[in-house]
A and B are shown apart, each in its own frame.
Chain A
Amino acid sequence: MTKNKIYNHIFLLFFIFILQFYLPSIVFSNDLILFPDLLLIYLVYISVLYDKYYVILFGFIFGLLQDFISQSNLLGLFAFSKTISGFLFGILSRYDRVWKILIKISFLFLIFEIHYLFASYLMFDRNFTPFIYILKVSTIQTIFMLIILMIVNKFILIDNKIIK
């Protein structure tokens, strides 16, 4: 990575953080609040540009930053789930030219689902939260995030589109 690229990314990351901070959460139902995870979208974008190695490291750093901001008492929660996601995004970028759009979307759905399953599993106390609720939350959040990704891919990304 060149110095300019690094500066660009740092600037973009800073912007995403500010945006993430001010973006409102969506109350889906009484017991479910959806929040747009822009860092995850950004990680998908990075996976298109760079090697798997960088994606894993970025996933870990983004997750750790998210942990510091969102819930410092469970440090490592998003770092863990985003590291795994980074690794899986790396696989997706490797087969970018091989897989069809439907397979790519399905794989993205799978990665998001895994990400939110891990995050929800490690976030909620199982003494009070049944696993079925965790599954429900993670699936709805995954669908929500997939819609946002589609919007970003269609209207914001111009050159390096995630899904071509």
Chain B
Amino acid sequence: MIKYLNRDTVALILCLTLSILFYFSSSSPVVNSVKTEISDFISIITYPKSYYSGLMLIQEENSILEQKLVRMNMLNSQLLKYEKENSELKKLLNFYNEQPWSLQIAKVVNDNYSFLMRTITINLGIKNGIETNLPVIDINGLIGKIEIVGDRASNVQLITDKNFIVSVRVGNDMSIGEFKATHKKLGIVYGVRKTADVKVGDIVYTSGISTIYPDSIPLAKVVNINRHNDKPFQDIEVEILADLINFNNVFVVL
């Protein structure tokens, strides 16, 4: 670099620098217009750099915003879950206050579906005053009964279990029959006389004859009636009212 700086070049650079210094020291509007044009020119030259820097900045901001969006989405879904839970708990509370029985709320902690036995596990046990054979209900109706009691948890035998039979009343004249689950949410009430006034849509309640279940717990709804058989009783097909798929909170009737 230095070897190219001969006497002529140094003189040229020096003289031009002095001239420029003299020129730009003036406050004339002409000089200002030249300054403006030089600034414009420099801004055009440096535009790609500033544009690229802006892009990088936007990319960085975008990444931060994406992270924020994920966090907000998570928070939002959590809030939605809380809202739903709150609504469910309110329903449970209303149900709890309306019932004549003494109830204890329990949370379902496990489902055990096997070929023969259908049970759930709740988070109440002996320490909470739970005993065997206490009925378990949800806000729609009967779910089952306590089968095995542990210190802090209990197993509930569901009404869909093949070994589960309940004495029930159905129809306008509250005829007595027996309920037994068949498949899925369906069951059958048998032992009801053909003369009994039963219609499709009637609700089936527990009879209260059994020592286990108090009377008038809703259990199922009549969906089909068959009186054309060679037996003295009519076949009443019913659908279970309780939600046996999405277990969450249940009540133990004390």
Contacts and interface: CB of A to CB of B under 8 A. Distances in A.
A142 to B, nearest CB: 20
A126 B22 contact: no
B23 A122 contact: yes
Given A123-B30, A124-B30, A127-B29, 10 more contacts: A51-B8, A56-B15, A63-B19, A64-B22, A67-B22, A73-B26, A74-B31, A75-B23, A122-B30, A127-B33
Contacts of B24: 76
Interface in A126-155: 126-127
Contacts of B2: none
B31 to A, nearest CB: 7
Contacts of B15: 56-57, 59-60, 79, 83, 86
B16 A80 contact: yes
Contacts of B3: none
Interface residues of B, number: 22
- Report whether over half of chain B's contact residues are helix, strand or loop; otherwise say mixed: helix
Pairs A-B, 4 closest by C-beta atoms: A76-B22, A76-B23, A80-B19, A60-B15
B11 A75 contact: no
Interface in B1-32: 7-8, 11-12, 15-16, 18-26, 28-31
B34 interface: yes
Contacts of B197: none
Which of B18, B22, B24, B29 has the largest number of chain A CB atoms within 10 A? B22
B19 to A, nearest CB: 4
26 contacts: A56-B11, A56-B12, A60-B19, A63-B19, A64-B22, A73-B28, A74-B26, A74-B31, A75-B22, A75-B23, A75-B25, A76-B23, A76-B24, A76-B25, A77-B19, A79-B15, A79-B22, A80-B23, A84-B16, A87-B12, A121-B34, A122-B23, A122-B34, A123-B30, A126-B34, A127-B33
B37 interface: yes
Contact of A53 (B7, B16, B28, B34): B7
A125 interface: yes
Contacts of B30: 74, 122-125
B37 A76 contact: no
Interface of A: 51-53, 56-57, 59-60, 63-64, 67, 73-77, 79-80, 83-84, 86-87, 90, 121-127
Contacts of A125: 29-30, 33
B8 A56 contact: yes
A74 B23 contact: yes
A79 to B, nearest CB: 4
Nearest to A123: B30
Contacts of B21: 76
Nearest to A61: B15
A83 B19 contact: yes
A84 B8 CA distance: 12
Contacts of A123: 30
Contacts of A83: 12, 15-16, 19
B125 to A, nearest CB: 92
Interface string B178-219: 000000000000000000000000000000000000000000
